[in-house]
Amino acid sequence: MAFKGLDSFSHQQKDKVGVVITNLGTPDAPTTPALRTYLKQFLSDPRVVEIPRLVWLMILHGIILRVRPKKSAHAYKSVWTERGSPLLWHTQDQTTALRDRLQKSWGEEVIVEYAMRYGNPSIDSVVDSMLEAGARKLVVLPLYPQYSGSTTGSTFDALALNLKSRRWIPELRFVSSYHDHPLYIKAMADKIKAYWQEHGKAEMLMLSFHGVPKRYLEMGDPYYCHCHVTARLLTEALELDQSKVITSFQSRFGKAEWLQPYTDQTLKSLPAKGVKSIQVFCPGFAADCLETLEEIAIENRDYFIEAGGSEYNYIPALNSDEAHIDLLQAIAESNLQDWKHPTPDYQAREQRYKRSPLAPKS
């Protein structure tokens, strides 16, 4: 195996620190061919679909990739904007804001970029470019507050695959979750309170998280527990009675049992129980995307209204709100602290290295 080197390396080059925020990804365009490419990469990930590979690949290539891309392209067209995919440009805005904050505090030695697990820019290409730019230490922050093997774990797989091919491995810090971070809870609570101040409260607040197969929970994935911790802390921060909050799971796929209660089925059942108004917030989504703007704000609204509900509103994700950037900055800086402010012991070791006869001559 040939290992990757660093084309631009120089001993005189000043080391930098890289901060990479990652998200799930998005197709390059709301078209059938673009969706086929995106879904092929996404649904081929063994972390996403954990069934025997041969069986699944026959289903994926024989059925799903022949049918689903056209349907998904239609859904993406309904949320596509002049700037492109909402997930992409929200992530770009988050990156710009975080970069401005960190470089103001830490200087231009900190490189801040974003990468997508599926689609572009890929984790592989971004890590390559950051290391070539001089990053010798990396903080990787997946924008999944609640850990799941199918999201955060898959992101680590992609990162590890890149580093596995390298001769020189950078020092690495990987943020696996922030589901109970005080600034995360506060940012969401403040967002919802601001919405209430402008629009008033509904009878119920639904906290809808992305679903995963129930089997993942049974095999030890902490995602379900993380979601409920987030929901409990947010309910407390909002000073709501538990009876006024529903925690549910959306976006299930296939015939297997997924985490329950299901968002769509719950919304269909509520009007018959006397609930006529509801507001929905999605704590697990760091940026608005197809699953929030089309599935929750449009499709599930129709379910609720058709079932007899009278008022349904979606509360937007944190996106690039200042409070959200405060959170991302706090997480990044907690990992940067000792890297940018070396301890006396580290400084002493650096000085001993510089005096060593093996140290490169400047």
What is the per-residue pLDDT for 6? 76
Place of tokens 């801040």: 112
Mean pLDDT over 160-176 rounds to 96
Cα distances from 246 to residues 240, 243, 249, 353, in angstroms, run 11, 8, 10, 58
Domains along the chain with CATH numbers: 16-177+322-345 (3.40.50.1400), 182-314 (3.40.50.1400)
- Can you give the pLDDT at residue 14? 79
Q: Where are the alpha helices (DSSP H) in 110-222?
A: 123-132, 154-164, 182-199, 214-218
Res 349: pLDDT: 53
In this prediction, residue 254 carries a pLDDT of: 83
Q: What is the pLDDT of residue 350?
A: 52
For residue 128, how many other CB atoms are within 10 A of its CB?
Answer: 17
In this model, does residue 3 exceed pLDDT 90?
A: no
Supply the pLDDT for residue 231. Answer: 98
| 122 CB-side CA count, 13 A | 13
Residues in the chain: 362
pLDDT cut 70: percent of the chain above it: 92
Order of strands across the sheet that contains 277-281: 245-250, 204-210, 277-281, 311-314
pLDDT, residue 15, reads 87
**Model confidence at 341, in pLDDT bands (50, 70, 90)?**
low
Q: pLDDT tens digits for 101-158? A: 999 988 889 999 999 999 999 999 999 999 999 999 999 999 999 999 999 999 999 9
Q: Which amino acid appears at position 85 of this protein? A: S
pLDDT at 362: 46
Q: Average pLDDT, stretch 160-187?
A: 97
pLDDT at 359 over 60: no
- On the question of pLDDT at 163 being above 60, the answer is yes
User: What is the overall mean pLDDT for the chain?
Assistant: 93
Question: Model confidence at 351, in pLDDT bands (50, 70, 90)?
Answer: low
Q: Is 291 annotated as a binding residue?
A: yes
Please state the rounded mean pLDDT for residues 217-246: 98
Q: What are phi and psi of 264, to 5 degrees?
A: -65, -45
pLDDT tens across 238-260, in order?
999 999 999 999 999 888 999 99
Over residues 56-98, the pLDDT tens digits come to: 999 999 999 999 999 999 999 999 999 999 999 999 999 999 9
Cα dihedral 324, 80, 30, 51, rounded to 10, equals 40
Instruction: Check whether 299 is labelled as a binding-site residue.
Output: no
- Using CA atoms, how far residue 33 sits from 69, 152, 245, in Å, is 7, 27, 40
Model confidence band, residue 347 (pLDDT cutoffs 50, 70, 90): low
User: For the whole model, what pTM was predicted?
Assistant: 0.91
pLDDT, tens only, 284-296: 999 999 999 999 9
